[in-house]
A and B are shown apart, each in its own frame.
Chain A
Amino acid sequence: MEIISPEGLRQDGRTPTCLRTISCRLGLYDRPNGSAYLEMGNTKVLAAVYGPREVRSISKQQLDECVIQCQMSRIAACQGERVRRPRDQRTRAMSLQISGIFQGAIRKSKYPGSQIDIYVQVLEADGGVMSACVNASTLALIHAGVELVDYVVSCTASMHKQTPVLDVTHQETVTGCELTISFLPNKEQIISMDTSHPLHQDQFEPVMDLAIVGCHQVYDNMHQEVEAYLQDKHAIMSHR
């Protein structure tokens, strides 16, 4: 399949180094401590954060820091043919990965003996699901007021022939490798990196560099939304 046309545009009209439109919202629900909704193109996810709260099973409790748990699920019609189970081995693996990422981003020692639960629901999947989940979780954690080292932003990139391609759709992941990077933009640190297929050594660096550029753009978008939310909230509170 032709990912990039000879005219230099992708199937959906983007240039190779262009992100899909990102839109997000904080604070959708009242019951969870924090919640967020995020769209990266047609990949749409909801995230809710409960906690810090009491540890459910006492055996898991850690006295000097908090326990982080994540549960990811997909709705049946999120992509193409119906998924049988909302949770399967794949989502379990991804849940573990997300909780692992936030192990490194949440200041765990601030919440000793307690637990933070992250629930992520994928409403629509069109490539870059993992990234969208991480980004939405970050927003929900921010909304919940959990202390973080930095924003955790995530973005995908791939290689098509000799051109690196940013933020791939599902259609574009069919050929080529999808590299997902989670990144701390202010600290300029990579917190997690994952490839779906083997990627040749020579191609690795340009793809990673592009993904990092993408992460910075994602960060700008998210930060803008957080600031707007805070201003809104401030306005409401001062009005009261």
Chain B
Amino acid sequence: MGLQERKQKIFYRKTKKGNILKIVREHYLRDDVWCGLDGCGACEGDKRPLDMLTTSDSTLMTEPHHLIIDTNVALHQIDVLSHDSITNVIILQTVITEVKHRSLPVYKRLRDLLDTHNKKFYVFTNEHHSDCYVEREEKESVNDRNDRAIRIATWWYKHHFRMNNQNVVLITNDIDNRDKARQLEVEAYTMHEYISSLQNAPGLLDIVAQVEEEKEEDVTYQGYIFPSHWSMEKIKLSLKSGKLYQGVFKTSRNNFLEANVMIEGFDKPVLIQGRLNINRALHDDVVAVQIFPKEQWSAPSAVVIDQEKQEAETGGNDDEKADEEAMKKEQELLAAGKGDGECQPTGCVVGVIRRKWRQFCGIIRKNEITDSTRHLFIPADKKIPFIRIETRQAESLYNKRLIVAIDSWPRNSRNPKGHFVRVIGTIGDKDAENEVILLEHDCPHTKFSESVLNCLPKLPWVITEKDEDEREDLRHIDVCSVDPIGCTDIDDALHCRLLPSGNYEVGVHIADVSHFIRPGTALDKEAQNRSTTVYLTNRRIDMVPDLLSSNLCSLRGSVDRFAFSVIWEMTPQAEVLSARFCKSIIKSRGELSYEQAQQRIDDPAMKDDLTESLRNLNMLAKQIKTKRIENGALVLASMEVKFHIDPDNDTVIDIVAKQHLETMSMVEEFMLLANVTAAETTLQHFPDCALLRRHPAPPPSNFEPLLAAAKSQNITLDVSSNKTLANSLNKSTREDNPFFNSMLRIMTTRCMMQAVYFCSGTLEPEEYSHYGLATPTYTHFTSPIRRYADIIVHRLLAVIIEAERTYPELLDPKKLSDLSQHINYRHKMAQYAGRGSSEITAIASLKGKVSEFMSYVLFLHKNAIQVLVPTIGQQLTLYLDNRHKRKEEKQAPKQEAMDVDEVPAPEFEFNEKELYVQCGELIIRPFDELRVQASVDASDVQHQRVVCRLVEPVIPGFSVPPLEKGSKQADKDEKQKDKPVEGPKDEKTAVALQVSEEKETKKKRETKDKERKKKKMKK
């Protein structure tokens, strides 16, 4: 048994230089490849997932049978294969290698199916089986050879299975292949034929993808909407000769008919405008782009175009005429919105090099024509076009969140075609909404598997003598943790004590997670895959199981815990004299909240050791912070808010801006110091394989929108370095607008690059630096419970202090580099998921009422103003388009200000160069204060949008009156502090007055507004 025959695989490959290489590889044939059938007496082998079948569900094939699929079926019908009712499938090696070559995501899913025990999938290594091997014949294409190999293997199986009364069916969508298989007297059907013949699988037919093979071009056919894609060969040639460019396609956030393609070597991204130029490319695809001559270059459009609104106007009908009309309308819209800013290279997509099609979450739009099987699917991601699907169970799918996959996008279809995959849950349901967010952001969120949980230490967990020998005993020191209220995964604690020399000893103690998560275990792999804990507003998806994250690793009060400590000696001027790391055992004296810690520091009556050490820490932290800022560290702002949620019914009770306390920056400073110390130490010992975090300086072009906005307010910022930027940000304040500086900082944050993890061996030392923190090296060390990068840093440090041994993957720069890429991706996605979650929560809090907010202008567009509402921490879009407003008003008859209609619609003029929107005498610039009303448009049950309306400054015919007096009265009664509010004014005459008055009352109003909001929330 073993190798039987030696063959040579010969093929030619072109090198980068263009030389042709002949490559010869050995190919051994074996006689010990087994069939995988449980109970087959003819061959030997230990892994036998295939069942001995006795019945058949299919009407086409009454004998018990197993399935064999060809490559295209595997690629396109993976959703059918994933369905529970499809079991006992033989995957040929020919198929799985081809799948791997053509689509990694499908390959991964196929491998997952193979690992699922009850799916009974089996890989048959036919290429190395001495009876199934076929050699490529002369003039036979690779595809034809593979098809033949599949047929031969099927034939072999049929004969091999005969003695056990089993049979096989070849599933192929290639009619030619099917017929050739039948000539070999092998049963072969297409997927559609086979699934239709199944008796006990209703609904499965919906999942079958409708893939149309690319047909020959029919010149006479008039129905084509899109120009055809170039052939791959032509694209490759043209890419080489420089006629085309390759890049990643990124759909604009504001306008679904516009996209940017970043191309290497170009300063600016290439602009793609219009449906035809986009030519069926999807967000994140790798595309080939042809660039237009310079005369045709244009600027990004200044309008916000929402796909949903467009589609709603064209009405759901989908005959060709409607298509044409819709296209025309879009053209007009784009033309109307033509920006007059700086021109950008413009081009069109001529071909897609790599598709990034994945599964999309979304909802089905109700079709007016009942019993139609064709439906339009609205993806949750606004950058993805609507998808046309066919389903027979549409009735049950309304009001549900579902998953859909794209199959193809033929030239004659305005929307891509896809198929239904599965239902997530009911719209509005908390779990369903959370799952949509997690799925859309590719966050692993399933329960921890059995094998992972088996890696956990057994309870009760006790500290052994051996542990005590290995670790420094710091239990006698007054250590405490300071965290937000309700935090259960406490991963840091602090202490500070005065040394006899007059210096201070400061210690930061981090949960020793790497003690529990050993490299290479299932637990380690799972944590590595998750890479980070994801925080949604009402749910936390842990990176490590609960037992570790909130118990054994969490540095809770008055219990013994393992810690990884960093201990400095500092002078009273906060100069670090020495630093050392050690593994330790600590006993926290208390889990304090930021507020409690602050109270202790502020209360002069408190004189205990813990409070004293907190005071010292605070004193040192202040000095460290001053030094850091002197070095050029940026203080940036974000508009994070905290939601107080009623755990019983999941409604938002209150939204509060995240408060800033001195103790917060105290903890932050020491965490930064610990991270910097960890970065320096690991880099010193492992110059090639330290895991660091860098924050690249943003390219000057990133600052352009910020500078333009600042200029409109007559402010100049110096962005040449982080220090100059920090200085000019500090100077830019407005007395009349206390929020101005924060706004400026929020906008600056948006200009920044993402900070990323990397492996030190892969970059030059000059590139290690962290722009935001102004440090030459930085890493993450302080939160190993919720970040995997910290675990790696802990392991490296443990090796340095000789507490642990290394293992191969830890010291491999390439593996570490791959790992950091993975962590970066997960981190980014977790951040987006968190933001998405708070957006949904914010919208939920607005539901069913009209709320008024103070807001600030962030960006201006020709037909919209994007405003920032600090109270709820969200960005809203205020459409300057009157038409929509009227439509909404009709839907909301509550609005009784009908005189609005009598006023002619105001004309808005947008000046892109100087960045302002003008309406009559009123000029709106970035950072201006606007009062807006926000409500949730509930007319569409399936998809809720926030509708935003202007209240102040008043623009006749556009703005709406402030909320009725009644509600204000109620507020007033409730709290006497509220000053009387001016009654509603005569809008027609009030414009000028309002503008001048606004400045005086601004401050008052803002505070009032906040108070009123809070009360309303409480109610």
- Please give the residue numbers on chain A whose beta carbons come within 8 Å of chain B beta carbons, in ascending order: 5-7, 9, 11-15, 18, 20-21, 41-42, 80-81, 126, 159, 162, 169, 171, 198, 200-203
Q: Does B2 lie at the interface of the complex (its beta carbon under 8 Å from any beta carbon of A)?
A: yes
The answer, among A5, A169, A200, for a CB contact under 8 Å with B25, is A169
B30, A13: Cβ atoms closer than 8 Å: yes
B109 to chain A, nearest CB (A): 14
CA distance in complex: A80, B16 (Å): 13
- Once A6-B114, A18-B3, A42-B26 are accepted as A-B contacts, the answer to whether A13 and B19 lie under 8 Å apart by CB is no
* Residues on B with beta carbons closer than 8 Å to the beta carbon of A5: 93, 125
A202, B6: Cβ atoms closer than 8 Å: no
Q: Does B993 lie at the interface of the complex (its beta carbon under 8 Å from any beta carbon of A)?
A: no
CA distance in complex: A220, B654 (Å): 81
CA distance in complex: A139, B21 (Å): 32
CA distance in complex: A175, B2 (Å): 26
A13, B27: Cβ atoms closer than 8 Å: yes
B21, A81: Cβ atoms closer than 8 Å: yes
B761 to chain A, nearest CB (A): 13
Interface stretch of the complex, out of B523-531, B616-624, B806-814: B806-814
* Residues on B with beta carbons closer than 8 Å to the beta carbon of A201: 806
State the total of A-B contacts with C-beta under 8 angstroms: 60
| Chain B residue, CB-CB nearest to A203 | B808
Which size class do B's interface residues fall under?
A: 20 to 34
Q: Does B24 lie at the interface of the complex (its beta carbon under 8 Å from any beta carbon of A)?
A: yes
A9, B807: Cβ atoms closer than 8 Å: no
* Residues on B with beta carbons closer than 8 Å to the beta carbon of A15: 2
- Please give the residue numbers on chain B whose beta carbons come within 8 Å of chain A beta carbons, in ascending order: 2-3, 6, 8, 15, 19, 21, 23-30, 93, 111, 114, 123, 125, 127-128, 520, 805-808, 811
* Residues on B with beta carbons closer than 8 Å to the beta carbon of A169: 25-26
B372 to chain A, nearest CB (A): 44
CA distance in complex: A199, B25 (Å): 27
The answer, among A9, A18, A202, for a CB contact under 8 Å with B125, is A9
A200, B125: Cβ atoms closer than 8 Å: no
CA distance in complex: A222, B445 (Å): 57
CA distance in complex: A11, B93 (Å): 11
20 CB < 8 A contacts A-B: A7-B123, A12-B26, A12-B28, A13-B28, A13-B29, A13-B125, A13-B127, A18-B3, A42-B8, A80-B23, A81-B19, A126-B24, A126-B25, A159-B808, A162-B520, A169-B25, A200-B806, A200-B807, A200-B808, A202-B805
* Residues on B with beta carbons closer than 8 Å to the beta carbon of A203: 808
Interface of chain A, main secondary structure: loop
B819 to chain A, nearest CB (A): 15
B806, A12: Cβ atoms closer than 8 Å: no
A13, B128: Cβ atoms closer than 8 Å: yes
B21, A18: Cβ atoms closer than 8 Å: no
A202, B3: Cβ atoms closer than 8 Å: no
A86 to chain B, nearest CB (A): 19
B3, A6: Cβ atoms closer than 8 Å: no
CA distance in complex: A21, B7 (Å): 11
B2, A18: Cβ atoms closer than 8 Å: yes
* Residues on A with beta carbons closer than 8 Å to the beta carbon of B806: 200-201
CA distance in complex: A66, B636 (Å): 78
| Chain A residue, CB-CB nearest to B6 | A21
B15, A81: Cβ atoms closer than 8 Å: yes
B21, A12: Cβ atoms closer than 8 Å: no
B808, A202: Cβ atoms closer than 8 Å: yes
| Chain A residue, CB-CB nearest to B47 | A7
Of all A-B residue pairs in the complex, the 10 with the closest CB atoms, nearest first, are A13-B128, A200-B808, A13-B28, A12-B26, A41-B26, A7-B123, A7-B125, A12-B28, A21-B6, A42-B26
B129 to chain A, nearest CB (A): 9
CA distance in complex: A201, B808 (Å): 8
CA distance in complex: A14, B15 (Å): 28
B779 to chain A, nearest CB (A): 23
* Residues on B with beta carbons closer than 8 Å to the beta carbon of A14: 3, 28
* Residues on B with beta carbons closer than 8 Å to the beta carbon of A6: 111, 114, 123
| Chain A residue, CB-CB nearest to B812 | A200
CA distance in complex: A9, B123 (Å): 12
Instruction: Give 11 new A-B contacts, CB below 8 A, not counting A13-B30, A18-B3, A200-B806.
Output: A11-B25, A13-B125, A18-B2, A21-B6, A42-B26, A126-B25, A126-B26, A171-B25, A198-B811, A202-B805, A203-B808
B732 to chain A, nearest CB (A): 53
* Residues on B with beta carbons closer than 8 Å to the beta carbon of A202: 805, 807-808
The answer, among B21, B25, B30, B93, for a CB contact under 8 Å with A42, is B25
The answer, among A9, A20, A21, for a CB contact under 8 Å with B128, is A9
| Chain A residue, CB-CB nearest to B9 | A12
| Chain B residue, CB-CB nearest to A2 | B100
| Chain B residue, CB-CB nearest to A199 | B808
* Residues on B with beta carbons closer than 8 Å to the beta carbon of A21: 3, 6
